[in-house]
A = this chain, B = another copy of it.
Amino acid sequence: MKKFYIAKSRRLRSTPFSSRIESQGLTAYTTYNHMLLPAGFEGLEKEYFHLKENVQVWDVAAERQVQITGKDSAKLVQLITCRNLTKSKIGRCYYAPIVDEQGKMINDPIILKLNENKWWISLADSDVGLYAKGLVSGLKLQAEVSEPDVNILAVQGPKSFKLMEKVLGQKINELKFFGFDYFDFKESKYFVARSGWSKQGGYEIYIENREAGLKLYDELFLAGKEFNVRPGCPNLIERIESGLLSCGNDFDNGDNPYECGFDQYIDIKSDINYLGKEALVKISKEGVKRKLMGVKIDLDKIEITEEKPLQNGKSLVGHLRSAVYSPHFKKVVGIAMIKKEYWDKKTAFELEINGRKCKGSVCDLPLV
Does residue A223 face the partner (Cβ distance < 8 Å to B)? no
Interface residues of A, count at CB 8 A:
56
Q: Digit string of A235-246 for contact with B (CB within 8 Å is 1, else 0)?
A: 000000000001
- Contact of B12 with A30 in the complex, beta carbons under 8 Å: yes
Interface of chain A residues 225 through 242 with chain B (CB within 8 A): none
A303 at the interface (CB under 8 A from B): yes
A164 to B265, CA, bound (A): 53
Given contact pairs A130-B126, A134-B134, A6 touches B6 in the complex (Cβ within 8 A): yes
Flag if A40 contacts B248 (CB, 8 Å): no
Q: Which of A1-48 contact B (CB under 8 A)?
A: 1-14, 18, 22, 26-31, 34, 39-40
Q: Which residues of B contact A27 (CB under 8 A)?
A: 4-5
- A304→B10 contact, CB < 8 A: yes
Point out the residues of chain B lying under 8 angstroms from A322, CB to CB. Answer: 9-10
Give the contacting residue for A5; candidates B6, B8, B303; CB below 8 A: B6
Q: Which residues of B contact A253 (CB under 8 A)?
A: 147
Contacts of A329 in B (CB 8 A): none
* Neighbour of A28 across the interface among B4, B31, B106, CB < 8 A: B4
Find chain B residues with CB under 8 A from A307 CB.
10
A259 at the interface (CB under 8 A from B): no
**Chain B residues near A139 (CB-CB < 8 A):** 138-139
Residues of B within 8 A of A18 (CB): 305
Q: Which of B40, B101, B125, B147 is in CB contact (< 8 Å) with A136?
A: B101
Contacts of A303 in B (CB 8 A): 8
Closest to A9 in B: B249
Q: Which of B4, B8, B11, B249 contacts A10 (CB 8 A)?
A: B249
Q: Is B138 in contact with A10, judged by CB distance below 8 angstroms? A: no
Judge whether A305 and B8 touch: CB under 8 Å.
yes
Q: How far is the CA of A260 from the CA of B206 in the complex (A)?
A: 32
* A to B CB contacts below 8 Å, 26 in the list: A3-B6, A4-B5, A4-B6, A4-B29, A5-B27, A6-B6, A7-B29, A7-B39, A7-B40, A9-B322, A10-B306, A11-B247, A11-B249, A12-B31, A12-B305, A13-B306, A14-B306, A126-B130, A131-B131, A132-B134, A134-B136, A134-B138, A135-B137, A135-B138, A136-B138, A137-B275
Known pairs A10-B249, A10-B306, A18-B305; list 16 more (Cβ under 8 Å): A5-B5, A6-B29, A7-B30, A9-B322, A11-B30, A11-B125, A11-B247, A11-B249, A31-B31, A101-B133, A126-B130, A128-B130, A132-B134, A135-B138, A139-B139, A147-B253
A interface residues with partner B (beta carbon < 8 Å): 1-14, 18, 22, 26-31, 34, 39-40, 100-101, 106, 125-128, 130-139, 147, 246-249, 253, 275, 303-307, 321-322
